[in-house]
Chains A and B, each alone.
With several copies, the nearest count.
Chain A
Amino acid sequence: MDSDIVMVDDKGKRVDGREANDLRPMKIEAGVLPNADGSAYLEIGKNKVLAAVYGPRECHPRHLQDPTKAIVQCKYNMQSYSVSDRKRPGPDRRSAEISKIISEALESVILTELFPRASIDVYIEIMQANAGTRCAGLTAASVALADAGMPMRDLVPSVAVGKADGKLLLDLNKEEDNFGEADLPLAIIPKTDEVVLLQMDGHMTKEEFDSAMKTGVAACHEIYEMQKDALRRRYSVGEEEEVEE
């Protein structure tokens, strides 16, 4: 909000050298944890995120069971040292809300009706946070689900579009977010471009919003390619291993 702070310079470069519609550097690795049925590690900019999947397995507590389908229970957790001011360990209201909307987004692609009464448990741990953790967590979680062999309609790439200095900027980093005027996290099903997660905070005109949606959907497709790459690498490793035996 402070007009002295410049988020985009004369040449259209952002504080970290990106253009307006550039994603931060991103890295995804599938199958990183031995115990989980599926897992993924993701870095985007300075975010470091682990996702793990257990299930389908018996649903506890039992009164949550749905006789017609599996329920998807995501727990998003920020580790205490992941932010500059230490976060008290344990759940809080923010993580409860994020867990809920990520659960809903994942439920939209999992073929839950194949597993009546079961629970599909998704754990997202934010080890280092730098704006955009809910999107990073969801992107990682859908890779972990695929790694677990979960029957799914598609993966779910996710990213936020922000507004700072009056300009729409893709995938805000922490510094941009702190001085930003709006943030719009979204997630899509790439095969159909359906939107399965959408939030907005701040101030946008209708025109800005429509433009931000377009940018976000396009970026989700970029991320989708990286998700598929990670799974391909994981799969080929699996192949090699099998060959080795």
Chain B
Amino acid sequence: MSRSVVSEIRRNHINELLRKGARMDGRGPLELRDISVETGVIDTAEGSARVRYGDTEVMAGVKMAIGTPFPDTPDKGVLTTSMELIPMAHPDFESGPPGGDAIELARVVDRGIRESGMVDVEKLCISAGEEVWMCFLDIYALNYDGNLFDAAALALVSALKTAMAPASNFDKGEDFPLPISCLPVTVTVAKIENTLIVDPTFDEDMVSSARLTVTTDENGDIRAMQKGKSGSFTVDEISEIVDLAREKGEEIRKIIG
């Protein structure tokens, strides 16, 4: 994401609008873009979802297979998350191995799923120490207009929520829905000058000084956080962002039922 530079004129325009509480796409500072979620879009995947946050578009797919557990967690299934910023999605994305941004994205989305305990991995054990379900969670950004953190997380949560373990293909009884214990939702807030905005677009992300991504659960508890960029937040701003993440998370959770 390094090549793009927002022109000085656009930067000033974004700043001036925000001082009046407005944004280029007509939203208020704390308003989300239109979010759409389609699930079950890929027949070859055990679960899949295509999510749009405005012009940001993401696909997530879940594939499952049987494998051996890690030695230190013999009775737990395995989750592996990858995120590809394919060059189709943005003129700045390049082919090749994932860079720092893609790695951070994948790891933050992964932690949002893993640390929240969304998937009950103990129920994915077939025979302790021998056979467990391996879940490959693969995310592709199809079109990038900012805030991939939230779109990718929502796509993955939606794909997981609707995934069916293909047990019958492996002679392990009937197919069953992935065991889901909670619905973590991720909300990213950016800081431009001294204003906090939710769900930043690409241009807003370029102009912002700092970013905070917060994953919360149904109870409003915090499950994962990641601050980004070289700017800073005050302790009060962080507390305000956490509250925002809980509120907007509840709003988004309604979309995916």
Q: Point out the residues of chain B lying under 8 angstroms from A227, CB to CB.
A: none
Q: In whole angstroms, what is the CA distance A4 to B11 when docked?
A: 56
A152 at the interface (CB under 8 A from B): no
B82 touches A80 (CB 8 A): yes
Q: In whole angstroms, what is the CA distance A50 to B143 when docked?
A: 11
Q: Point out the residues of chain B lying under 8 angstroms from A91, CB to CB.
A: 95
Contact of A81 among B61, B145, B227, B238 (CB under 8 A): B61
Interface size on B, residues (CB 8 A): 63
Q: In whole angstroms, what is the CA distance A15 to B227 when docked?
A: 31
A48 touches B42 (CB 8 A): yes
B42, B234, B235 — which one has the most chain A CB atoms within 10 A of its CB?
B235
User: Could you tell me which residues of chain A, from 22 to 40, have a CB within 8 Å of some CB in chain B?
Assistant: 33-36
- Among the stretches A124-132, A165-173, A231-239, the one at the interface with B is A124-132
A206 at the interface (CB under 8 A from B): yes
B230 touches A80 (CB 8 A): no
Contact with A along B38-53 (1 / 0, CB 8 A): 0001111100100000
Q: Point out the residues of chain B lying under 8 angstroms from A79, CB to CB.
A: 59, 61, 138, 140
B36 at the interface (CB under 8 A from A): no
B33 at the interface (CB under 8 A from A): no
Within the complex, the shortest CB–CB distance from B236 to chain A, in Å, comes to: 10
A199 touches B103 (CB 8 A): no
B2 touches A81 (CB 8 A): no
A35, A57, A100, A217 — which one has the most chain B CB atoms within 10 A of its CB?
A35
Contact of B42 among A128, A203, A213 (CB under 8 A): A128
B24 at the interface (CB under 8 A from A): no
Contact of A52 among B88, B97, B230, B235 (CB under 8 A): B88
Within the complex, the shortest CB–CB distance from B174 to chain A, in Å, comes to: 19
A210 at the interface (CB under 8 A from B): yes
Interface SS of B by simple majority: mixed
Say whether, besides A89-B82, A96-B100, A128 and B43 are in contact (CB < 8 Å): yes
Q: Point out the residues of chain A lying under 8 angstroms from B104, CB to CB.
A: 96-97, 100-101
Q: In whole angstroms, what is the CA distance A206 to B245 when docked?
A: 11
Q: Point out the residues of chain B lying under 8 angstroms from A90, CB to CB.
A: 97
Q: In whole angstroms, what is the CA distance A86 to B221 when docked?
A: 34
Contact of A82 among B42, B84, B225 (CB under 8 A): B42
Q: Point out the residues of chain B lying under 8 angstroms from A149, CB to CB.
A: none
A33 touches B42 (CB 8 A): no
Q: In whole angstroms, what is the CA distance A171 to B120 when docked?
A: 29
Say whether, besides A81-B63, A195-B233, A89 and B84 are in contact (CB < 8 Å): yes
B88 touches A34 (CB 8 A): no
B232 touches A35 (CB 8 A): no
Contact of B235 among A105, A195, A199, A201 (CB under 8 A): A195
B232 touches A195 (CB 8 A): yes
Interface size on A, residues (CB 8 A): 65
B55 touches A34 (CB 8 A): yes
Within the complex, the shortest CB–CB distance from A95 to chain B, in Å, comes to: 10
Within the complex, the shortest CB–CB distance from A142 to chain B, in Å, comes to: 14
Within the complex, the shortest CB–CB distance from B55 to chain A, in Å, comes to: 4
A179 at the interface (CB under 8 A from B): no
Within the complex, the shortest CB–CB distance from B225 to chain A, in Å, comes to: 4
B193 at the interface (CB under 8 A from A): no
Q: In whole angstroms, what is the CA distance A99 to B82 when docked?
A: 19
Q: Point out the residues of chain A lying under 8 angstroms from B115, CB to CB.
A: 201-203
B231 touches A108 (CB 8 A): yes
Say whether, besides A93-B107, A205-B222, A206-B220, A34 and B86 are in contact (CB < 8 Å): no
Contact with A along B87-116 (1 / 0, CB 8 A): 111110011010010011011000100011
Contact with A along B215-257 (1 / 0, CB 8 A): 0000011111111111111110011001100100000000000
Say whether, besides A127-B59, A197-B227, A209 and B222 are in contact (CB < 8 Å): yes
User: Could you tell me which residues of chain A, from 1 to 53, have a CB within 8 Å of some CB in chain B?
Assistant: 33-36, 46, 48, 50, 52
Contact with B along A161-194 (1 / 0, CB 8 A): 0000000000000000000000010000100111
Q: In whole angstroms, what is the CA distance A101 to B231 when docked?
A: 11
Q: Point out the residues of chain B lying under 8 angstroms from A200, CB to CB.
A: 222, 224-226
Q: Point out the residues of chain B lying under 8 angstroms from A125, CB to CB.
A: 86, 88, 140, 142
Give 17 pairs: A residue, B residue, CB < 8 Å, sorted on A: A36-B143, A48-B42, A50-B88, A81-B61, A99-B100, A100-B100, A104-B229, A123-B88, A125-B88, A125-B140, A196-B230, A198-B225, A199-B225, A199-B226, A204-B221, A204-B222, A217-B235
Beyond A80-B61, A205-B221, 8 additional contacts (C-beta under 8 Å) are A34-B55, A35-B91, A50-B88, A54-B87, A96-B104, A195-B227, A199-B225, A203-B222
